[in-house]
Structure 1
């Protein structure tokens, strides 16, 4: 390992599940070959005389050692969280770390809406018979409790809601937990946001989610930064990474993926869904300053790039004015869909998987770029990332940025 400091904050494990693939190896292959799973969604509670497009996980494949009792009655969000954390846990060899020195931050809030609506509908006419477990499962802390119980995590744990920036917000909170000495190792989890018909309908009415423009060609619907985009396309996903100092990783002889060299969070002072140029520029510049690098040092950008009409334009303007138009840029959401609370985490994992592979994945459906002057990755490209920038923005004026450095 070169170019590191013992005090470096590093990523030592990762786990991921998307609609098109489960596990890092399969997801890497899916990304590099730009394979997606977009279709008319079929999961119960997603449609009501509608045909919303999205990408749904066909099946969660659980490790053999997970008991039937554990999996009985588990929610979609909980199941996705368990397989993501399990993969990250095993890779980082956390079984040898004292339980009270491990923490967990779950990125997201209100992320089990479909499951809850299904329960409410089932018991609407017989409310006194509702399962007592509902008194626990409707809370976001239920996913924290599930994961800490299964993995015997005895350090700090809580959920952090940041809308579509939740996954990256969890990373920032995990960094702070490690830096402060609260724990030695912290798992950051981007929870799967399980949308019901009601959220899908309101997001479409709001103008954030894509229309029925591509109803006859679902694979073409998700097209961030393309002039013919008309909103985000939802995609089920979840991811987890393990964050710690280089010194603790070395004790277990774990090879880190990358160092997190800079990070930032800033608010717009705006509760609405519209993006903020000033907020985005602020976190980009703060993250670069914390990393101690110049914009010209960034050679790869993983943007928020949701497919929003206004959001994509604002993000490109912020990147341009921050001196970053030279860097390679691609669109992970064009392949996975927008995972909302999980999106920022899945995209951080996409960065380190590309860093490890020495290759960049293509932008799907980028036929007519909104700004062709950017260095778009149009096909699978060999490239050794040195310094990457990952961006994540959420409703309510939340802006986050991460700089990752190759080791």
Structure 2
């Protein structure tokens, strides 16, 4: 069997801008920010950052109790996003249970909320009498993937990557490879994340969190901006349904985009600080995988989280490969950094930009930092013909990932 073409036939989202892809895209195009002051963070001793981008308006009661009991927030987000993705793609129960649909979804550290509860109960009496068995199913690293399988009746392959900020992008890439090489016909792929004060504290301790805009939360993060001071933690879930072109055409499914390349590599130089050479190498790898030149890329959706080192490294790497001809933007100013979910949520938005021929500019970018000046970063919406888009994600620990999407043309 040759390498099969892989397309996107559906997607679902739960984001700080609202539930559903429509709500997210309306917020993005309206230049809205999901970042808010979180009063609960004020009670955490030593925590300087007081802002986050949280999901609102989600009711876990929509999920039957027999499934909900084993779900933490990130699994609830995933179940709702999966429902939207499968319904939009017209996937029947027969397909879900037929063994040719798999799942690839991950989180950063599973459920910090459930983990805290488990340790709280244990440390209270140094015993386990009050710990419920369902708490373990919320904590286990593959909780999100396993819960999706249970509530959707999926019998295909189950993969659960965990690579921090690269998780969602890697999940899409792994799903793409499963289909391209004939192991599955459909893959439900992405990432999910739930917020906890310790998540924000981690980046605060590392000096990577935004701490100077607590009184102006909508003005941070500020990717590529000279006044940026760090990232803003967020939560949510993005899921894409990938499918072989043959299967999609046979089902007469809506085809939203085609994946034409995926690459991932490692940066062994520093656990915390990204290096432009490895980012450059990853982007060149995905171009080679797709068999296209850098001149064929029409838009780049950057990882750019608003950190000093990260934005500079990515901008310099992009400049080396693409120069300043391709528009580049980051969605972190709108959504915050949804960590494991970021690659998938931003991939959905990237595909929507391809389909609509509209580039969403970077929110809060007012004065481009000189260290990021070698790339084209629009500060206003742009309408243009978009055919190919690159989605970047780069994680702590040196995990890089890049995916290329192409606007689908039926007669190609």
The answer to whether the superposition gives a TM-score over 0.5 is yes
Q: Is residue 199 from structure 1 mapped to residue 196 from structure 2 by the alignment?
A: no
SS at match of 2:224: coil
Within a 5 Å distance, the mapping from 1:253-268 to structure 2 comes to: 253-268=252-267
Q: How many residues align?
A: 400
Following TM superposition, by how much is the alpha carbon of 1:73 offset from its aligned partner in structure 2, in angstroms?
6.5
Aligned pair in 2 of structure 1 residues 99, 48: CA closer, same or farther (>3 Å)?
farther
How far is the alpha carbon of 1:69 from its aligned partner? 4.3
| Cα distance change on mapping 1:267 and 1:27 into 2, 3 Å | same
Question: Are residues 1:147 and 2:145 paired?
Answer: no
Q: In structure 1, what is the Cα distance between the partners aligned to 2:167 and 2:303?
A: 12
Report whether the alignment pairs 1:210 with 2:210: yes
Distance 1:298 1:185 in 2: 26
Alignment CA distance shift 1:6-1:288 (3 Å): closer
Please give the alpha-carbon distance, in whole angstroms, between the structure 2 residues aligned to 1:170 and 1:272: 21
Partner of 1:85: 82
Question: Does 2:164 match 1:163?
Answer: yes
For structure 1, which runs of at least 5 residues remain unmatched after alignment?
none
Does the alignment pair 1:178 with 2:175?
Answer: no
Structure 2's unaligned 5+ residue stretches are none
Label 1:184 to 1:122 Cα distance change in 2 as closer, same or farther (>3 A).
same
CA spacing shift, 1:6–1:398, aligned 2, 3 Å: closer
Q: In 2, distance between residues paired with 1:252 and 1:332? A: 33
| Structure 1 counterpart SS, 2:18 | coil
User: Match of 2:102?
Assistant: 103
Quick one: distance in 1 between partners of 2:154 and 2:70? 22
Q: TM-score, length-normalised on structure 1?
A: 0.92
Pairwise CA distance, 1:62: 6.3
- 1:235 is paired with a residue whose SS is coil
Where in structure 2 are the equivalents of 1:31-70 lying within 5 Å? 31-42=28-39, 47-48=44-45, 50=47, 52-61=50-59, 66-70=63-67
> Is the 8 Å Cα contact of residues 298 and 324 (structure 1) preserved in structure 2?
no
Q: 1:182 to 1:400 in 2, by over 3 A?
A: same
1:391 aligns with 2:389: no
Structure 2 residue matching 1:399: 3-state secondary structure: strand
Correspondence for 2:8: 11
For residues 2-401 of structure 1, what are the structure 2 equivalents within 5 Å? 7-42=4-39, 47-48=44-45, 50=47, 52-61=50-59, 66-72=63-69, 74-95=71-92, 96-97=94-95, 98-126=97-125, 127=127, 128-192=129-193, 194-211=194-211, 213-270=212-269, 272-370=271-369, 371-401=372-402
Query: Which deviates further from its counterpart, 115-124 or 53-62?
Result: 115-124
TM-score between both structures, scaled by the size of structure 2:
0.91
Q: Secondary structure at the match of 1:160?
A: coil
